[in-house]
Amino acid sequence: MNALANLHQDWLPAVEQTQATVRQLSQQMRRLLDDKVFLENKRIMQLIRSIESGALGTREAPPSGAFMEIDAPTVDVVLPFERPLYEPSRKMLVNDAVETADDADVDASALFGQFFVDKERLQANINAILAEAEQATLAEVTAEYPLSQGLAEVVAYYRLATESDWATINPEHSQRLSWQLPDGSIREATIEQIIFGRPA
């Protein structure tokens, strides 16, 4: 139950990174639209100046005869018998009864098995590496203890780093992590460099 309650906190770093990416895309989109609006306004002003110059030229030297045709005003005549008769709309029967489902037989083990990551096991992996070194990157930890739960385990390591006083996250450098899926395929993720240090 604790895993489900802390699920939104475990995914918080990933959400922040996603929001930062969306902000960057929004800024690029805004610049693109500003450039497009500027070009459209410039084209409109060119057309207006062209029309003005043409109008001034026509005023100074009007052409002989008719040079423009305008449609005469007309009235559309619709006879009453051409209109369809009124047809009332059909009434729709909607069943708005709410049935409460019985969740007594719901098996939540699949949900917990999908998202629960044992942070104590991950911390033990970090401590085992730091027992032989002053500091270690997350890439070095996962090289010794491969990721078994994919991206969820990466997020858990990230959470441990944000909560630890002896870990640093370097946004200027990145590291690539990989893991193997049950079907044998390889997945990779590139994240900010995480360095774990041995507590003093």
- Output the pLDDT for position 195: 92
The domain locations on the chain are: 2-60, 117-197
Return all residues near 129 (Cβ < 8 A) that are at least 6 apart: 136, 140, 141, 144, 196
pLDDT digits (tens, 9 = 90+) for 129-149: 999 999 999 999 999 999 988
**What mean pLDDT, rounded, does the chain reach?**
81
Beta bridge partners of 192: 174
Which of 57-61, 111-115, 131-135, 193-197 has the least mean pLDDT?
111-115
pLDDT digits (tens, 9 = 90+) for 60-113: 777 777 767 778 788 777 777 777 777 777 776 767 776 666 655 555 555 445
Q: How far, in Å, CA of 60 to CA of 52, rounded?
A: 12
| pTM attached to this predicted model | 0.45
Determine whether 140 is exposed, middle or buried from the number of CB atoms within 10 Å of its CB (0-12, 13-18, 19+): middle
